[in-house]
Amino acid sequence: MLFPQENRTTTNAGATPQGSAAPAPSAPPPQQIVVQAPSSGIKIPILFGAVIALLGVCGYLFYQLSQLRGDLAETRDSLSAQISKLSEESSVSVQTSRRNIEALEKDLAKARSQATQLSGEAKAAALAHADEVAAKLQRAQDEQGKQLVSFGNEVTQVKNDTSAANSKIGEVSGEVTNVKSDVAKNRADTEKLVADMKSARGDLGVQSGLIATNAKELSALRELGERNYIEFKIARTKQPQKVGDLAIKLEKADPKHNRYTITVTADDKTVEKKDKTVNEPVQFLLTRASQPYELVVNDIKKDMIVGYVAAPKVQQPRSSGASSASAKP
């Protein structure tokens, strides 16, 4: 809920040090509780947690590469065993064929010798037998040739599979190297962005978180994951523009002096924020959250403002009995 702030006047000379006794007034002053934003000290651990998660992804890829190499070693052993088995089978087959061919050649020579000694029908029968033996010999030689061609094809396929596996390992190794480089670069870029960003005290007197001044810094804040960020471009119109839980209307934009005035409606209440500057955290307290909403304008143009609203990620309603910090203009 947006709460109007009570009018009060404080001076450094009249301020009472914290912890010292103050004169008892005739009536107790109104109590005001300011909800402090979480310390920015936890941002760096969260950042390093994200970096550790990225390193875990890299480690997982290294583990996958190790598994792939193990599978390739097993495949190579299996292929080597298959090649050895095929070599043995081919050797046995060749030797058997050779013996068969030698026996057939002997039979053929014997048949031809007998054919030369016979005449008439006996000679014709001997020649027919010789032709049959020659045909068997040709078939045996053809079968042996087919076996040799098949064996050569299988060896070629094994070589192709091995080459493909080696190529796959090269690709995975390249991907792991790229991921490792990206992790290192992202970590360095994020650390630099976080180091360059600053926090500021908002117009409610509540310490703000880190303030993003451009798109890269806003992306780094999103990676921290502490708040929900909603970007906006609001032109000067008659009707307010909805930005998350807020309805914002641009009343005045002064790009020459980098100042602007808006009215914000939330929880059925409207509050004016007057003469705010670029990158100044403008804070609002809503009943649905114990932490303040923050509006930051990064650029002021003619009749337009550009920036973002940072909303608490955890929507925890504020205690109804507690005094609230008002949204002062």
Could you tell me the residue ranges of all domains in the chain? Answer: 45-194, 198-312
Q: Same fold for the domain at 45-194 and the one at 198-312?
A: no
User: In this predicted structure, what is the pLDDT of residue 64?
Assistant: 87
Q: Which residue has the tokens 């004169």?
A: 23
Query: Measured between alpha carbons, how far is 81 from 153 in angstroms, rounded to an integer?
Result: 16
Contacts (Cβ under 8 Å, ≥6 apart) of 97: 140, 141, 143, 144
pLDDT tens digit sequence for 5-32: 444 444 343 444 444 444 445 555 555 5
- Spell out, as residue ranges, where the chain has pLDDT lower than 70: 1-41, 115, 118-120, 179, 181-208, 318-329
- Which pLDDT value is given to residue 262? 96
CATH of domain 198-312: 2.60.98
The C-alpha R_g of the chain, in whole angstroms, comes to 44
91: alpha, beta or left? (left if phi > 0; alpha if psi -120 to 50)? alpha
DSSP labels, 85-132: HHHHHHHHHHHHHHHHHHHHHHHHHHHHHHHHH--HHHHHHHHHHHHH
Q: Does pTM top 0.85 for this prediction?
A: no
The pLDDT value given to residue 258: 94
List, for residues 144-203, the tens digit of each pLDDT value.
Answer: 888 888 878 888 887 888 888 788 777 777 777 776 766 666 666 655 555 555 666 656
Give residue 294's identity as a one-letter amino acid code.
Answer: E
What pLDDT score does 201 carry? Answer: 63
- pLDDT at residue number 191: 57
Residue 14: its pLDDT value, please?
A: 44
The tokens for 95 are 């030797």
Q: Which residues contact 248 (CB under 8 A, 6 or more apart)?
A: 232, 234, 240, 241, 262, 263, 264, 265, 295
Residue-level pLDDT at 9: 41
The per-residue pLDDT for 141 is: 86
Q: What is the pLDDT of residue 15?
A: 42
**Options 3.30.420, 1.20.120, 1.10.530, 3.30.530; which CATH number does 45-194 get?**
1.20.120
